[in-house]
Amino acid sequence: MKSITINGSQRESVGKKATKALRNAGQVPCVLYGGDKPVHFSAKELAFSKLVYTPNAHTVVIAIENGGSFNAILQDIQFHPVTDRILHIDFYQIFDDKEVALDIPVRFIGSSKGVLNGGVLSKNRRKLHIKAIPGNLPDFIEADITPLKIGDKLYVTNFEDDAYTILHPDNTVVCQVRTARAAIVDEVEEEEGVEGEEGVEGTEGGAPATDAPATEGTKE
């Protein structure tokens, strides 16, 4: 999985007054959990753009000035209810030998047979919550919808992998091809066309047609 580096500075004060001053200076107050003790730091708001405003999943390298470097994942984020500016971010420290849970985006590929016949693709899950050691975390999970016909579904069980564990019930639907009205009309017309062809060849229970004229009998 790709990693993004966040350069930050350690926070000496964590009170409301100090936090407000950081935000006014274009800094985002953050906390890193998961280690021996929480690490309070701040970083420029623009430093989080590639981490927050993207559908992709990333791990993070938090490089704190005079405070060391830590591998982590984004755990929680708070936005301003009006301006949508980032107010606070929580990170969770990760270790090479310990499993971590993360939302991984689903990438849909292919052209569904059902969609080509007029069905509608419903993407029920755009991300899957999985657990794995950091080295086995994928950038995305690929879903090939090519073989899906109208009414078919892909479940999380279709994406099982030895490298990670999917943290959803087995009956969770990732995507499905639903029936659309246009698809019903096309199907009915196709069935009527087939019946018409059968009618041309002959009637049910009747004898095959011949070129010889039919006669009632021969008089002596």
Q: Which amino acid is at 177?
A: V
Do 169 and 109 belong together in one domain? yes
Number of folded domains that form the chain = 2
3-17 per-residue burial string, b: 16 or more CB within 10 A, e: under 16 = ebebebeebeeeeee
**What CATH number is associated with residue 26?**
2.40.240.10
* Residue 183, pLDDT score: 52
What span, in angstroms and rounded, lies between the C-alpha atoms of 6 and 30? 11
Range of the domain at 168: 101-181
Q: Which amino acid is at 210?
A: T
Do 52 and 111 belong together in one domain? no
What span, in angstroms and rounded, lies between the C-alpha atoms of 161 and 158? 9
pLDDT reading at 191 higher than 70: no
What span, in angstroms and rounded, lies between the C-alpha atoms of 101 and 93? 12
Please report whether residue 200 resides in a domain.
no
Output the pTM of the full model.
0.75
* Residue 180, pLDDT score: 74
Q: What is the pLDDT of residues 48-83, one digit of tens each?
A: 999 999 989 999 999 998 889 999 999 999 999 999
Do 85 and 138 belong together in one domain? no
Do 89 and 109 belong together in one domain? no
Do 112 and 61 belong together in one domain? no
Please report whether residue 106 resides in a domain.
yes
Q: Which of 56, 141, 132 shows the shortest CA–CA distance to 101?
A: 132
Residue 171 DSSP label: T
